[in-house]
Structure 1
Amino acid sequence: MPMIFEHSTLGQRVMFGTGKAAEYVAAEIDRLGASRPMVIAAEPERALAERAAARITPSLWWDRVVQHVPVEVAEQARTAAEQNDADVVVSVGGGSTTGLAKAIALTTGIPVIAVPTTYAGSEATNVWGMTEDRTKTTGSDPQVLPVAVVYDAELSKTLPVGLSVASGLNGMAHCVDSLWAPRTDPINQALALEGARALSLALRGIVADAQDMEAREQALYGCYLAAVSFAGAGSGLHHKICHVLGGTFDLPHAQTHATVLPYVLALNAPAVPELAGRLATALGAQGTAGDPAAAAIAALAELYRAVNAPFRLADFGFAEEGIPEAVQRIVKAAPASNPVPVNDQNMTQLLTAALTGDRPRTGVAA
């Protein structure tokens, strides 16, 4: 078959170097000609942010960071940025911190320099998300794409192993979703598969030795590829599910993505055997000829066992009575291009299985 597709690559400067965050942040501020940086970092990340900002003089420190970016928090941060004449925002932290910086950029146009301390990947996308009245709304806008990303594995060294695993599997979810998301193309898929390979190896390394800096670097590399593929491919079913669970039920972002992923893979993989086989290979499977979907599901399950991944939504506050509302919202938001048609029945099965941690099985959600 002829290869016909349209691919857009986002323009962004990426600076990667362990121990170089302060140097790179200062260099990027100089390059932008900025002089009044606003630094965003939640209180637990303040020490890391001070290290990253060691060579600059912030005009404002902002530490009110809330997951899923409530609209009211975004408005407060925007007002503070404007009142302090901030001309650049430096975000140091995970996805919620980057998300708040993006919310500021969305309405003010102030450029963002992102310094990730987790493997969320938001720093490499032009996607924003905010929550209001228990509903998370997302969109894309070139104005929210950070102009620069500074990756320094030293800043992720203090991230506990459990959170490292959940955050890395959040990145893995970007990879898997990008294989069949609405705008996917061969370039996005190639990036996603390499990201999945790198993250699989990195997470095993971090679990074996939390101070393994090569593994931490591989995790940052993998999450970046995952996010770039996601930015191009768009938001697939997995992300629609997790946006509902996070925005409506306030479930933790990374843990929710990590928990839901195996069930979405089990639902979709049989409908896309060629992609499933390539994913299985990326995850380390030795043979996929017999049943590529089963191989991909088994390879992901083996990784989850190896890294002691989260596997029950009940552990994070979701309850059975929330399933009907969640299903209604998910079915409404699900992309029509999903490999398997989304309906009340298979979403109820998927959430019921993910709630209790029932083992995903090939071809069905539970």
Structure 2
Amino acid sequence: MDPFEYNANPSRVVFGPDSIQKLPDELRRLKLSSPLLLTTPQQVSSGEDLAKILNAASIKPAGTYTNATMHTPSHITNEALEYMKSASADSVVSIGGGSTIGLGKAISVRTGLPHLCIPTTYAGSEMTPILGETQDGKKTTRSDPAILPGTVIYDVNLTMTLPTSLSATSGVNAIAHAVEALYAKNKNPIITMMALEGTKALAESLPTIVEDPSNQAARERAQYGAWLCGVCLGSSAMALHHKLCHTLGGSFNMPHAETHTIVLPHALSYNAPAIPEAMKLLAEVLPGSNGNAVQGLNVLLEKLKVKRALKDYGMKEEDVAKAAQIAVSNQYPNPREIKEEPIKELIRRAWAGEDAKDDL
């Protein structure tokens, strides 16, 4: 066995149906009494439901900020910080997907306030000490133990009405974390186990959710898989796939989960020649792979009935070359050397919505 280092990220997980009702107890455990609630404009009702639970337990929220936005733009963070200061909050509670959790992280790391989060998608951001922020059209990422939320509440009931399209893309977004953990520069056997188990759980449950959205067992298994994949993201150095998605999201305003879904098989095909062992392990947990992990991902995306083209989300063909230039402008650890021409072709295929192929 190769030598390795493993650092566990310290966070508390409360998992199970109706676990949202335990939020008051979690706040009391931390001796907190005035949380600021965070939502997106689309999830205002979730914040209202949360406030009712807290009020019933004699905990009065400091207020609710409802303008969390994709890619955590700096002006939104500054606006939320001003709101928080005027409300005299002693903690932050985010409920929603990556946009809301990202804002919670941005506030927490700037203020030192405890962050409790309640994910309603499968993106996995809640389990990472990583924060991606956008300013002036450029997305940058940083990692700091202080960014990691202290408590995560997984309540399957909050995912039961998640649209199947978003269930699928946020689930594949989570799988992307696990895939890159398999060949990360700091990979280790513990995270590899979590990556394979998380991928297997999601690859098996997501097609069921698409066909039967009310299947609670599948929803819960997807949530479990997303948790494991999120741990992988928080414990591993990400490579080409995540760099490409940050470029496309920050510079071209592509939607987060959908972009990860489209790019993943193409990024994996690019790295495939340099990661034979990871490809073998991944193929074993992807149904329909026939020994080829890239094919397994193509099959999975077909089952999930997701859009496969960046152009479907507004990216222009003339943006392909610019995206490639940005993606290769700063070299970063990756199993295969980053070269502009094949990266440009990778992005073109993702833009056009083609199946990933093993010839990059």
Letter in 2 for 1:31: R
Among 340, 343, 350, the alignment partner of 1:347 is 343
Letter in 1 for 2:133: M
Instruction: Measure how far apart 1:286 and its partner are.
Output: 7.3
Aligned partner of 1:361 in structure 2 is 357
Tell me the TM-score normalized by structure 1.
0.94
Instruction: Measure how far apart 1:87 and its partner are.
Output: 0.8
**C-alpha separation in 2, matches of 1:152 and 1:334:** 39
Letter in 2 for 1:360: A
1:309 aligns with 2:306: yes
Instruction: Measure how far apart 1:296 and its partner are.
Output: 0.8
Aligned partner of 2:48 in structure 1 is 50
CA displacement 1:88-121 (0-9 Å, x = unmatched): 1100000000000011011101111000011111
**C-alpha separation in 1, matches of 2:289 and 2:175:** 20
**Alpha carbons 2:130, 2:234 under 8 Å: kept:** yes
**C-alpha separation in 2, matches of 1:319 and 1:334:** 25
**C-alpha separation in 1, matches of 2:41 and 2:137:** 25
CA displacement 1:21-51 (0-9 Å, x = unmatched): 1x22111101111111100011321222333
Query: Structure 1, unaligned stretches of length 5 or more?
Result: 289-294
Letter in 2 for 1:54: K
Letter in 2 for 1:347: I
SS of equivalent to 2:52: coil
Aligned partner of 1:291 in structure 2 is none
Letter in 2 for 1:38: L
Q: Which moved more, 1:43-52 or 1:194-203?
A: 43-52
Instruction: Measure how far apart 1:287 and its partner are.
Output: 5.2
Among 294, 297, 302, the alignment partner of 1:300 is 297
1:79 aligns with 2:77: no
Aligned partner of 2:19 in structure 1 is 20
**C-alpha separation in 2, matches of 1:64 and 1:327:** 31
Aligned 1:196-275 pairs, distance under 5 A: 196-275=199-278
Letter in 2 for 1:335: Y
**C-alpha separation in 2, matches of 1:286 and 1:167:** 21
Instruction: Count how many residue pairs are aligned between Structure 1 and Structure 2.
Output: 355
Q: Which moved more, 1:265-274 or 1:220-229?
A: 265-274
Tell me the TM-score normalized by structure 2.
0.95
Query: Structure 2, unaligned stretches of length 5 or more?
Result: 55-59
1:11 aligns with 2:10: yes
Aligned partner of 2:323 in structure 1 is 326
Among 34, 37, 48, the alignment partner of 1:36 is 34
Identity among equivalent pairs (%): 38
CA RMSD of aligned residues (A): 1.3
Letter in 2 for 1:6: E
Aligned 1:152-167 pairs, distance under 5 A: 152-167=155-170
SS of equivalent to 1:9: coil
Instruction: Measure how far apart 1:145 and its partner are.
Output: 0.8
Cα gap change, 1:151 to 1:333, in 2 (>3 Å): farther
**Alpha carbons 2:71, 2:134 under 8 Å: kept:** yes
SS of equivalent to 1:55: helix
**C-alpha separation in 2, matches of 1:38 and 1:29:** 12
**C-alpha separation in 2, matches of 1:9 and 1:120:** 20
**Alpha carbons 2:288, 2:299 under 8 Å: kept:** no
SS of equivalent to 1:120: coil
SS of equivalent to 2:318: helix
